[in-house]
Amino acid sequence: MSNVLLTSGLAVLFPASSVRICSERMLTTTREQTVMHEYVTLTLPKIGCQGCIKKIVSALDTVPTVEVVETSLPAKSVSLRYESSKTSIAHIESALQPLGHVIERCEVQQKELPPA
């Protein structure tokens, strides 16, 4: 079984064994390095408006490798992915702390989140 990666108009065929989803992590293997991505949904109970979400997204943009994938005002949540070798939930918490947001729940996704 093979997977196809499309990038900059090029199709790259690689064996399915080079990408494994390990319960809470996606392992991507390249010739240069192995990259572990975490996919999580954070529940932040103090989210009250779109302004809060914009501030949260701005704060998370300062954390290395963090990519916000989805936000939900009704669910008071932010779904994101990050490279676990370069950042952690502790780094993410530190970025949110000055805004007064505390992570109530951190749900690890079992599969890859949709692209941003």
Domain count, the chain: 1
Please give the Cα distance from 79 to 21 (Å, whole number): 18
Amino acid at 82: Y
pLDDT in tens, 67-94: 999 999 999 999 999 998 899 999 999 9
Query: Which residues constitute the domain of residue 50?
Result: 2-108
**Predicted structure pTM score:** 0.66
Please give the Cα distance from 96 to 68 (Å, whole number): 13
What is the gyration radius of the CA atoms in the chain, in angstroms? 16
pLDDT in tens, 15-60: 433 333 333 444 454 455 567 888 999 999 999 999 999 999 999 9
Q: Is residue 88 part of a domain?
A: yes
Q: Is residue 115 part of a domain?
A: no
Q: Nearest CA to 17 among 5, 3, 31, 4?
A: 3
Q: Which pLDDT value is given to residue 79? A: 96
Burial 80-95 (b: 16+ CB within 10 A, else e): bbbebeebeeebbeeb
Q: Tokens at residue 63, please? A: 């954390």
Q: Is residue 113 part of a domain?
A: no
Q: What are residue 27's phi and psi, to 5 degrees? A: -105, 115
CATH number at residue 96: 3.30.70.100
**Most distant CA atoms of the chain, gap in Å:** 47
